[in-house]
Structure 1
Amino acid sequence: MDGVDVVELVIVCVLFLLVTVMGFVAARWRRAEDLMHLDEWGLGGRNFGTWVTWFLLGGDLYTAYTFVAVPALVFGAGAAGFFAVPYTVVVYPLVFLVVVRLWSVSHVRGFVTPADFVRSRFDSPTMALLVAITGIVATMPYIALQLVGIEAVLKAMGVEGELPLIVAFIILALYTYNSGLRAPALIAFVKDTLIYLTIIVAVIVIPSRLGGWDAIFGAAEAKFASTGTGGVVLGEASQLNYATLALGSALALFLYPHTLTGALAASDRDVLKRNMSALPLYSFALAFIALLGFMAIAAGVEPIGGDGNTVVPVLFQQMFPSWFAGIAFAAIGIGALVPAAIMSIAAANLFTRNIYKEFLKRDATARQEAQVAKVVSLVVKLGAVAAIIFIDPQFSIDLQLIGGVIILQTLPSVAIGLYTRWLHRGGLVAGWVAGMAAGLLALYVTQRVGPDGTVLREHFGGSAFALSDLGLDTAVTVYAGFVALLVNLVVTVLVTAALRGAGVDPGVDGTADTDYTAERDDPTFRELPDPLESAPPGATGERPARR
């Protein structure tokens, strides 16, 4: 135990034990008679009200990686790290345009995933498969990155080795397997309470101890002036990249499967409308989280082993007694477990509905679907742990940048498809291929350059694509995902126009106009089929009533 802060470790372990118990108890919370149905295991029975949905979506969108990586980026690059603040402000009006209509059509038609919607809307199993694969691939590194937050906390406490990390995710895997989406929904209450407590105390205590905000911003400005990198304001060449990165990240965020899974678990459209109005409160907290990076500069924080993700844990250790630092560390650790659980469930839903049932076992019963999803959720978590253990965490962060670029390529079929059926299924496939190729190429040619001009990484060096690579005489950069999405949209529209002009069959729309505005008590609404109707011989019981 040499070098380990026992007080911090005990508090973290006690709070982790608390959420572990809550994770297993969650199976009895809003209890269903049978969790062996994706509606129940994967979507919490589609019965979450305003408060539960608010905490669930907040726990889903504001992760441990956000808590440590955003301040770390501000610590190292200055103003560029604040892109996360405007993008989480912009995202909610965009999400409102998508999730309310998706909720209605999904409840009327029984969709569990966005790929289910694409399959029905465009009569295209191929495009649905691409949406499912894209969602799974983009989510995997995102799950792995939740472990970065836990690793940073363990380093700060002096705990060495990967065993605590593995144990934490084994326990997470078990209670997610047991309780499904109910587990992270219940734990999110504890996670968000701890995070808000930590941030409120931090923004009051730390500035007072460092001499006020003038001293904090002055120290940051002096550091960036001496190093020649970053700054407290954006340089002219980086402003376009900042704007497109914020907008592109906002568009990508609501396309991730875990975001849509949390939305589909809501009990009705009004719940989502209220949440789109209230969730910006998290963005207010995020602004203060970002400022922790400047506070760390003023406090003279030195990252552990050069790992920038440790600046917030080290800052808390310097500024607070061990007991409060332990609470803050628990907030970061639990902040990793909630989104990781939701992400693994979302990925499992995609595999089960859009790969297993569509291509491997078309006659799968509801019980078989649920069992496959539970097993896949375990595999996904194990893959995330393996990624962190065997891959350089910095490379995993780069993978997340790639994830944002590729998930954007589902925007035409998922988001635009909610409003129009004009896009041809062939055009959507062609646009996806073109956008994916353009995005990966833009990331491949992007270098990472040090302050002295030295090339630190030849390829996949970041998401800021230099317009000079297109032959333009400028130092301006732009978000690679934004470029890829433009290519996708152009190709989709052109190929759609060509196919429709040639009279190629666009397929049959499996939805109706009234589906997209259906309320829970709307006459067009119909309950989902009773899973027991297709259950194996000998199965008994009734479909749990909707609450």
Structure 2
Amino acid sequence: MNNLSFGGASGIMVLVAYAVMMLVIGYFAGRKQPNVRQSVRSYYLAGQGLGFVALFFTLYATQYSGNSVVGYAPEAYRSGFVWWQSVPFMTAAIAAYLLFAPRLYVIAKRESFVTPTDWVRYRFRSTPVNLLVAALMLWGLSNYLLEQLVAMGQGISGLTGDTVPYQIGVVAFVLVMLVYSWMGGMRAVALTDVMQGIALLVGVVVLLAGALYLAGGDLGDVTRYLIANEPDKVQVPVTTDSVDWLSMIIMIGLGAAVYPHAIQRIYAARDERTLKRSLAIMAWMPLVTTGVVFLVGIIGLRLFPGLSTDASEQLVGVIANEVAGINLFFYATMILLFGGVIAAIVSTADSALLSFSSIVSRDLYARHISPRASEARQVLVGKIAGVVAIAILLVVAWNPPATLYNIFVLKFELIVQLAPVFMLGLYWNRLSAAPVFWGMLAGALVAGGMTVAGVDDLYGVPGGLVGLALNVVICVVGSLLAPDSTRTPEPPRTRRAETEVSSAAS
């Protein structure tokens, strides 16, 4: 670990090169949208004109970020083969998208939605439901941003051999992120996602090849080593672990699909065909991303046995540096990965920040504080809110409170409570506002209460899924027993439109 291939001037040069590319992309993205500072639709949704390539990569960046590269390999290192669950729960997220995304897109296009809660306001016409949904989304996005800031610092520190300290790396790239996202909005974010996505895909595949080469070229030998030296990492899971596996697949599959920034990407698609094509390709990405990162973590057990929890958090950086020392080809591709990992983390953070800003500016400021505010002022308020949020989260990220995986799971405990609002709300007309409000609130309190009490699960079922089960029961039973009499009847035009949506979805 002392003879690092990256470090010093070379590591800093790579970081600077990627930072400059992101700033240039942001500049030209802004130049192509003269009204990006005056229009919420241009700033937050790229004018609803994202084509196939940009939409695919921005969806890819939303699902795969710092946690899926920097965080997932260490979790595989600590957990062993049981962490293969990371592949099916990413696949489950795509299945959940397909349940509601095309149908939601048709309505969003027709009704000109901008923020995720625009659907909630349109469907339930309830201020308490809107505010609770906004609060849960802001919590999830804040947690997601914190995760990316921690990943950013650990990635830069690990991949440069501590040449660039954790805190300095975080601050520097946060400033880069704020500048280019301010200049180009969603379009700048989507175009940087294309750059980092290509770098990440190529880099992780070559990282696996290099790690396997360092381990002797035989994955079977790695497994035999684990059987002999760390049998607990390859044994058949006990029943509780199996229940936990299935529960996590369900919870993360549903939760990832209702990320606020993922929903806004549904809105931003150029047309329904573009959205469906992007999701079809996304269905293959768990195998070539999460699956590859899982194998890297398993090989890390052979290459660097006995790492502590804190040391294992920098596993990807350590392996990347070793792989870079093999030959010139691996060195060049690890440079690609090196920048791609950092760019992936930054691009994911800016997506969450953009969504956070839109909810504050549109759903809180414009709806409840200053209803007459111009769109230009709404954009400005959103930018300021984003800076304030980042400043607060930087204080927390300075001394990260848990491993990346623990932060990752914590946000799903609450964000998954939004699933009935979108999935049941799109298909079941009888779902009512009052049961939805009390179901979400009860689910969030149960999930949060279990977390605060230190209860990770109930017989292997995580708190978020326990809360979701209660949430769904309240939504369904409450809507059947007491239909919402306060909901404003929809005009005939909207009912006919809903019939058209049903036909389009089928």
The normalised TM-score by structure 2 is 0.90
- 1:168 to partner: Cα distance: 1.1
Q: Relative to structure 1, is the Cα distance of residues 50 and 419 closer, same or farther in structure 2, using a 3 angstrom cutoff?
A: same
Q: Relative to structure 1, is the Cα distance of residues 517 and 268 closer, same or farther in structure 2, using a 3 angstrom cutoff?
A: farther
- Indicate the residue corresponding to 2:328 in structure 1: none
Amino acid at match of 2:337: A
Helix, strand or coil: the match of 1:267?
coil
Identify which of 267, 270, 273 aligns with 1:267: 270
- Indicate the residue corresponding to 1:316 in structure 2: 320
Q: Relative to structure 1, is the Cα distance of residues 505 and 190 closer, same or farther in structure 2, using a 3 angstrom cutoff?
A: closer
Distance in 1 separating the partners of 2:144 and 2:56: 21
Superposed, 1:471-486 pairs within 5 Å as 477-486=460-469
- Indicate the residue corresponding to 2:258 in structure 1: 255
Identify which of 446, 449, 452 aligns with 1:441: 449
Distance in 1 separating the partners of 2:114 and 2:227: 49
- Indicate the residue corresponding to 1:450 in structure 2: none
Q: Relative to structure 1, is the Cα distance of residues 240 and 163 closer, same or farther in structure 2, using a 3 angstrom cutoff?
A: same
Distance in 1 separating the partners of 2:494 and 2:287: 39
Q: Is it true that 1:506 corresponds to 2:487 in the alignment?
A: yes
- 1:239 to partner: Cα distance: 0.4
Amino acid at match of 1:481: G
Amino acid at match of 2:295: L
Distance in 1 separating the partners of 2:486 and 2:267: 31
- Indicate the residue corresponding to 1:540 in structure 2: none
- Indicate the residue corresponding to 1:494 in structure 2: 477
- Indicate the residue corresponding to 1:333 in structure 2: 342
- Indicate the residue corresponding to 1:384 in structure 2: 393
1:330-383 CA distance string (max 9 Å, x none): 111111111111111111111122111221112222222222222222223333
Q: Relative to structure 1, is the Cα distance of residues 123 and 442 closer, same or farther in structure 2, using a 3 angstrom cutoff?
A: same
- Indicate the residue corresponding to 2:437 in structure 1: 429
Return 179-188 or 161-170, whichever deviates more: 161-170
Helix, strand or coil: the match of 2:230?
helix
Identify which of 18, 21, 28 aligns with 1:18: 21
Q: Relative to structure 1, is the Cα distance of residues 399 and 90 closer, same or farther in structure 2, using a 3 angstrom cutoff?
A: closer
- 1:220 to partner: Cα distance: 3.1
Q: Relative to structure 1, is the Cα distance of residues 161 and 185 closer, same or farther in structure 2, using a 3 angstrom cutoff?
A: closer
Q: Relative to structure 1, is the Cα distance of residues 238 and 304 closer, same or farther in structure 2, using a 3 angstrom cutoff?
A: closer
Identify which of 350, 359, 366 aligns with 2:375: 366
Asked if structure 2 preserves the Cα contact closer than 8 Å seen for 1:123 and 1:509, the reply is: no
- 1:243 to partner: Cα distance: 0.7
Identify which of 398, 418, 428 aligns with 2:426: 418
- 1:63 to partner: Cα distance: 0.3
Distance in 2 separating the partners of 1:233 and 1:40: 51
- Indicate the residue corresponding to 2:295 in structure 1: 291
Superposed, 1:114-125 pairs within 5 Å as 114-125=116-127
- Indicate the residue corresponding to 1:526 in structure 2: none
- 1:295 to partner: Cα distance: 1.2
- Indicate the residue corresponding to 2:97 in structure 1: 95
Asked if structure 1 preserves the Cα contact closer than 8 Å seen for 2:214 and 2:303, the reply is: no
Identify which of 57, 67, 70 aligns with 2:69: 67
- 1:325 to partner: Cα distance: 3.5
Which runs of no fewer than 5 residues in structure 1 stay unpaired? 446-458, 468-476, 523-547
- Indicate the residue corresponding to 1:135 in structure 2: 137
Amino acid at match of 1:359: H
Asked if structure 1 preserves the Cα contact closer than 8 Å seen for 2:153 and 2:169, the reply is: no
Identify which of 387, 409, 417 aligns with 1:409: 417
Distance in 1 separating the partners of 2:274 and 2:356: 24
- 1:518 to partner: Cα distance: 6.1
- Indicate the residue corresponding to 1:224 in structure 2: 230
- Indicate the residue corresponding to 1:6 in structure 2: 9
Distance in 1 separating the partners of 2:496 and 2:360: 29
Amino acid at match of 2:494: A
Query: Greater helix percent: which structure?
Result: 2
Distance in 2 separating the partners of 1:222 and 1:382: 48
Asked if structure 1 preserves the Cα contact closer than 8 Å seen for 2:19 and 2:176, the reply is: no
Q: Relative to structure 1, is the Cα distance of residues 401 and 209 closer, same or farther in structure 2, using a 3 angstrom cutoff?
A: closer
Amino acid at match of 1:404: F
- Indicate the residue corresponding to 2:249 in structure 1: 246
Asked if structure 1 preserves the Cα contact closer than 8 Å seen for 2:72 and 2:405, the reply is: no
- 1:278 to partner: Cα distance: 0.7
Helix, strand or coil: the match of 2:284?
helix
Distance in 1 separating the partners of 2:497 and 2:359: 22
- 1:299 to partner: Cα distance: 1.1
Q: Is it true that 1:171 corresponds to 2:176 in the alignment?
A: yes
1:16-51 CA distance string (max 9 Å, x none): 22222222222124x344541110000010001111
Q: Is it true that 1:213 corresponds to 2:219 in the alignment?
A: yes
Asked if structure 2 preserves the Cα contact closer than 8 Å seen for 1:439 and 1:481, the reply is: yes
1:404-448 CA distance string (max 9 Å, x none): 011111122222111122112111111111111211223234xxx
Helix, strand or coil: the match of 1:423?
coil
Helix, strand or coil: the match of 2:461?
strand
Amino acid at match of 2:67: Y
Q: Is it true that 1:146 corresponds to 2:148 in the alignment?
A: yes
Asked if structure 2 preserves the Cα contact closer than 8 Å seen for 1:68 and 1:312, the reply is: yes
Q: Relative to structure 1, is the Cα distance of residues 217 and 515 closer, same or farther in structure 2, using a 3 angstrom cutoff?
A: farther
Identity rate, percent: 18
Amino acid at match of 2:486: D
Helix, strand or coil: the match of 1:505?
coil
Amino acid at match of 1:387: V
- 1:172 to partner: Cα distance: 0.8
Helix, strand or coil: the match of 1:84?
helix
- 1:117 to partner: Cα distance: 1.1
Amino acid at match of 1:247: I
1:69-121 CA distance string (max 9 Å, x none): 11111100112322220011122222012111111111211211221111121
Q: Relative to structure 1, is the Cα distance of residues 293 and 45 closer, same or farther in structure 2, using a 3 angstrom cutoff?
A: same
Identify which of 60, 81, 84 aligns with 1:82: 84
Helix, strand or coil: the match of 1:415?
helix
Helix, strand or coil: the match of 2:134?
helix
Amino acid at match of 2:23: T
- Indicate the residue corresponding to 1:200 in structure 2: 205
Amino acid at match of 2:350: A
Distance in 1 separating the partners of 2:308 and 2:26: 32
Distance in 1 separating the partners of 2:499 and 2:397: 43
Identify which of 187, 194, 202 aligns with 1:189: 194
Helix, strand or coil: the match of 1:312?
helix
Distance in 2 separating the partners of 1:487 and 1:249: 17
- 1:250 to partner: Cα distance: 0.5
- Indicate the residue corresponding to 1:539 in structure 2: none
Aligned residues: 487
- 1:307 to partner: Cα distance: 3.3
Amino acid at match of 2:413: V
Q: Relative to structure 1, is the Cα distance of residues 517 and 269 closer, same or farther in structure 2, using a 3 angstrom cutoff?
A: farther
Amino acid at match of 1:466: L
Q: Relative to structure 1, is the Cα distance of residues 517 and 74 closer, same or farther in structure 2, using a 3 angstrom cutoff?
A: farther
Identify which of 334, 342, 363 aligns with 1:354: 363
Asked if structure 1 preserves the Cα contact closer than 8 Å seen for 2:52 and 2:275, the reply is: yes
Distance in 1 separating the partners of 2:224 and 2:390: 43
1:263-314 CA distance string (max 9 Å, x none): 2110111111111111123212221111110111111256588332201111
